[in-house]
Amino acid sequence: MSPDLIVALLAAAVQGAAPILFATLGEILSEKAGVLNLGVEGVMAISAFAAFFVCLQTGSATLGLLAGGLAGSLMCGLHSLVCQVFLGNQVVSGLALTIFGVGLSNYLGTPYVGAGTVGFRQASVPLLAQIPWLGPILFQQDAMVYLGYLAPVAVWFLLNRTSLGLGLRATGEMPAAAAAAGLNPQRLRAFGVMAGGFLCGLGGAYLSLAYTHMWTIGLSGGRGWVAVALVIFAFWRPFRAVVGALLFGGVMAFQLRLQAEGTNIPSSLLLMLPYLLTILALVFSAARAHRAGRNAAAAPAALGVNIEPEG
Amino acid sequence: MIRLVVRKRAKSLGWGALVVYLCALALALFICGVLLRLSGRPGLGGLAILFQGAFGQSYSLLDDLVKAIPIFLCSLGVALSFRMQIWNIGAEGQFALGAVGATFVALSLPGLPWPVLLPLMFLAAMLAGGLWGLIPAALRLRLGVNEIISSLMLNYVGILVLDYLVFGVWKDPASFGFPMTAEFGPGGQIARMGPTLGLNLGKLHWGLLACPLAGVAYGVFLSRTRLGFELAACGEGERVARYAQLPYGFLVLLVLGAGGALAGLAGSIECSATLGRLQPTVMVGYGYTAIVVAWLARLKPWPIAFTSFLLASLRVGVEVLELKLQIPAAFGQIMEGGILLCVIAGQFFLDYTVSLRRPEAPVAPVASGASCAPGVKEAA
């Protein structure tokens, strides 16, 4: 492989990582607060359409991005409503959200299949883009990728350096204790879920605004599920999520490149790669968690458990 | 200020449960009607067309029944694992592998008569589907890998395996480039019931017989065998099960293997009876519908049968709607997801009561923590 090709592949990996990273960070926020949200796939699908639609109508990619985030928050608000107010099973509610979301996105999007939109274009960072190797890989991307560089820092800061984050984590570990400390676990959970939904929404928006610039059916293509898996792979830590997302972005870029080059390998086998890699990543993280001891890699203790009313 | 107080129900709601389900269903239908309206179609009229299409004619009822067969089989398999809180959402992939297994036998032994070939096909399908289901089971037991994600990822992989075969080595040279295998021999196709019985039964086929067999086996296993009771006990969670020295690991293998076998059987029936060959269109999401069915039916066999029929008829109705109002097929998914969401929310009222607490009522002194519990919600 020539150096140019390697740089191009790595740049594509960074781009492919961005939507998965946003979604993984969103799911980390939600799970840290104790709510398992398996609806990410559906949320991303809806947000991708919302972002596309608003961008198409207004011509503004920023408004589209915002719409994607808000749509994500709204969808996750639905999950929050079903699980927190109506005490529904989090696994099933999440699955329902995925079925509903993917369906709604396809339903609303069908008339727009093939339509293009402005979206985000490549915008090189002055000076930094000139750095050999790193410049083309990291700094000749679109604005959303740069936002993606900030997002893990922001989520890490929120979770580990603010009292809100402390409250969120407490709610995810032991809601009763959080309540005893004078916090409102229900409100904190709702915040975690909906803020996480906003991030998932950004991930969905990335797909239609920056990844393709065009509307097609099934844009999310399992990325939401990959994100759910990466949360485990990342041990619920924002910076490890970056590693996971890059790994997937890399495999997707590699696979697309191979397809474009026209190899003899059937495309169905190439398309399997990300999904097999997801399973492999889980196996790897399970083995690592085993070695690192329970606490280093454990899920929040109250993850998936609803807060029951007293009496 | 009036406060809402939530309490656990002392006794079961009985027939009131039906009211809850109907209300949830009505809410979901209302939302779908609004959605139709928003996309410029008649809302109520659209729903009427849907019902007309699903239940209006005898052939539509028969069509419902045909589609209910795979959904029912997959749903039993899914429900089995849900009973012990193992979240097998891999029915779709197991279905695909079942179709592949059956096709392998049908294409390898084309000349055999049906009494030999069909059982061999079912066996291969159940084996393939069952083994596919055992992968997440083994990963979970050996390494602690979350079965939700591994079983779901295997859906994508399973469908791609099917695609690989159908687009590649199994492609019929006479298919003009279409991705499909050659048609199965007459011995490899499940016959329709109508001609044999001398009745006009449309597309209804003998694969239907698998449903009562599987349903009875499911019911007997759960209510009459020791293992079935142990499985129910495992529903309390893995730690409880291990503490009670239940054969937790074995049961995980069993539910995922058996669930995979049932989904695989469904896949073989679908491609043998409905298509007569293997092609990608065999995958229409029955495996996901099965999850919806299992949960709506609260994992009980009779309700699963009834709900399978209901969601199958929904699919038939949506097909008619697609034709008459040019509605995208995804409308069916919206309805399934919407109904499930509404019903999960509604099931709250099966287990809890909500009452108003007036401000003058004596409020028990509560610890600071209690005021944050969800039991007390402020109402405007």
Residue by residue, DSSP assigns B108-148 as: HSTTS-HHHHHHHHHHHHHHHHHHHHHHHHHHHHHH---HH
pLDDT digits (tens, 9 = 90+) for B249-301: 999 999 999 999 999 999 999 999 999 999 999 999 999 999 999 999 999 99
Contact B140, B150 (CB under 8 A): yes
Number of helical (H) and strand (E) elements in chain B, helices listed first: 14, 3
Q: Is residue B50 part of a domain?
A: no
Q: Is residue B358 part of a domain?
A: no
- Comparing alpha-carbon positions, the chain B residue that sits nearest to A230 is B149
Measured in degrees and rounded to the nearest 5, phi and psi for residue A123 equal -135, 105
Query: Which band of pLDDT confidence, cut at 50, 70 and 90, is reported for residue B245?
Result: confident
Nearest-CB residue to B139 (from A91, A102, A283) = A283
A contact test, residue of B4, B160, B326 with most A CBs within 10 A = B160
* Span B319-346, average pLDDT: 93
Minimum distance, in Å, between the CA of residue A197 and any CA atom of chain B = 17
Instruction: Residue A271: list chain B partners with CB under 8 A.
Output: 160
Residue A167 near chain B (CB below 8 Å): no
Residues with Cβ < 8 Å from A73, sequence gap 6 or more?
A194, A195, A197, A198, A201
Instruction: Residue B327: list chain A partners with CB under 8 A.
Output: 107
Nearest-CB residue to A82 (from B153, B163, B345) = B345
Structural domain range at position A16:
3-224
Query: Which band of pLDDT confidence, cut at 50, 70 and 90, is reported for residue B373?
Result: very low
Minimum distance, in Å, between the CA of residue A145 and any CA atom of chain B = 27
Q: How many CB pairs under 8 A join A and B?
A: 185
pLDDT at A3: 81
A contact test, residue of B23, B27, B157 with most A CBs within 10 A = B157
Instruction: Residue A283: list chain B partners with CB under 8 A.
Output: 139, 143, 145
* Span B155-173, average pLDDT: 93
- Token representation of residue B230: 């142990």
Instruction: Residue B145: list chain A partners with CB under 8 A.
Output: 279, 282-283, 286
CB contact under 8 A, A185 and B332: no
Residue A103 near chain B (CB below 8 Å): yes
CB contact under 8 A, B164 and A38: no
Closest residue by Cα to residue B334 from B30, B90, B92:
B30
Instruction: Residue A277: list chain B partners with CB under 8 A.
Output: none
Nearest-CB residue to A103 (from B163, B330, B375) = B330
Minimum distance, in Å, between the CA of residue A219 and any CA atom of chain B = 14
Instruction: Residue A269: list chain B partners with CB under 8 A.
Output: 160, 164
Query: Which band of pLDDT confidence, cut at 50, 70 and 90, is reported for residue B370?
Result: very low
Query: Which band of pLDDT confidence, cut at 50, 70 and 90, is reported for residue B372?
Result: very low
What whole-number distance in Å separates Cα of residue B346 and Cα of residue B355?
A: 16
pLDDT at B374: 43
Instruction: Residue A309: list chain B partners with CB under 8 A.
Output: 6-8, 352, 373-376
Residues of A numbered 210-229 whose beta carbons fall under 8 angstroms of chain B's beta carbons: which are they? 222, 225, 228-229
- Token representation of residue B9: 């129900």
Q: Is residue B74 part of a domain?
A: yes
Residues of A numbered 37-96 whose beta carbons fall under 8 angstroms of chain B's beta carbons: which are they? 38, 42, 78, 81-82, 84-89, 91-93, 95-96
What whole-number distance in Å separates Cα of residue B72 and Cα of residue B56?
A: 22
Q: Is residue B218 part of a domain?
A: yes
Closest residue by Cα to residue A69 from A216, A190, A204, A188:
A204
A contact test, residue of B20, B41, B152, B170 with most A CBs within 10 A = B152
Structural domain range at position B252:
57-172+183-191+201-313
CB contact under 8 A, A103 and B348: no
pLDDT at B320: 94
- For chain B, how far is it from start to end, CA to CA, in angstroms? 7
pLDDT at B195: 87
The total domain count for chain A is: 1
Minimum distance, in Å, between the CA of residue B332 and any CA atom of chain A = 8
pLDDT at B13: 78
The total domain count for chain B is: 1
Q: Is residue B75 part of a domain?
A: yes
pLDDT at A293: 67
CB contact under 8 A, B341 and A96: yes
**Mean of pLDDT over chain B:** 89
Q: Is residue A246 part of a domain?
A: no
pLDDT at B25: 93
Burial B212-224 (b: 16+ CB within 10 A, else e): eebbeebeeebee
Minimum distance, in Å, between the CA of residue B149 and any CA atom of chain A = 6
What whole-number distance in Å separates Cα of residue A153 and Cα of residue A241?
A: 11
Minimum distance, in Å, between the CA of residue B371 and any CA atom of chain A = 8
A47 by DSSP, 3-state: which? helix
Nearest-CB residue to A278 (from B39, B153, B351) = B153
Asked whether the predicted pLDDT for residue B224 surpasses 50, the reply is yes
CB contact under 8 A, B340 and A107: no
C-alpha to C-alpha distances, B266 to A127, B208, B288, B351, nearest whole angstrom:
60, 10, 13, 34
Q: Which residues pair with B205 in a beta bridge?
A: B192
pLDDT at B375: 40
CB contact under 8 A, B330 and A222: no
Q: Is residue B273 part of a domain?
A: yes
Residues with Cβ < 8 Å from B254, sequence gap 6 or more?
B227, B231
Nearest-CB residue to A278 (from B149, B351, B368) = B149
- Comparing alpha-carbon positions, the chain B residue that sits nearest to A97 is B337
Q: Is residue B308 part of a domain?
A: yes
Nearest-CB residue to A100 (from B145, B334, B352) = B334
* Span B113-134, average pLDDT: 96
Residue numbers in chain A where pLDDT is lower than 50:
none
Contact B342, B292 (CB under 8 A): no
pLDDT at B358: 62
Closest residue by Cα to residue A13 from A198, A221, A246, A234:
A246
B7 by DSSP, 3-state: which? strand
Residue A80: count of CB within 10 angstroms of its CB: 24
Nearest-CB residue to B145 (from A86, A104, A286) = A286
Instruction: Residue B330: list chain A partners with CB under 8 A.
Output: 102-107, 110
The share of chain B scoring above pLDDT 90, in percent, equals 69
Task: Give, as one character, the DSSP assignment of residue B42.
Answer: -
pLDDT at A297: 66
Instruction: Residue B89: list chain A partners with CB under 8 A.
Output: 95
Closest residue by Cα to residue A208 from A69, A7, A30:
A69
Contact A177, A170 (CB under 8 A): yes
| ipTM of the complex in this document | 0.92
CB contact under 8 A, B340 and A91: no
CB contact under 8 A, A104 and B330: yes
- Token representation of residue A125: 């960072």
Burial B283-298 (b: 16+ CB within 10 A, else e): bbbbbbbbbbbbbbbe
Nearest-CB residue to A266 (from B168, B346, B352) = B168
- C-alpha angle A21-A26-A28 in degrees, rounded to nearest 5: 95
Q: Is residue A293 part of a domain?
A: no
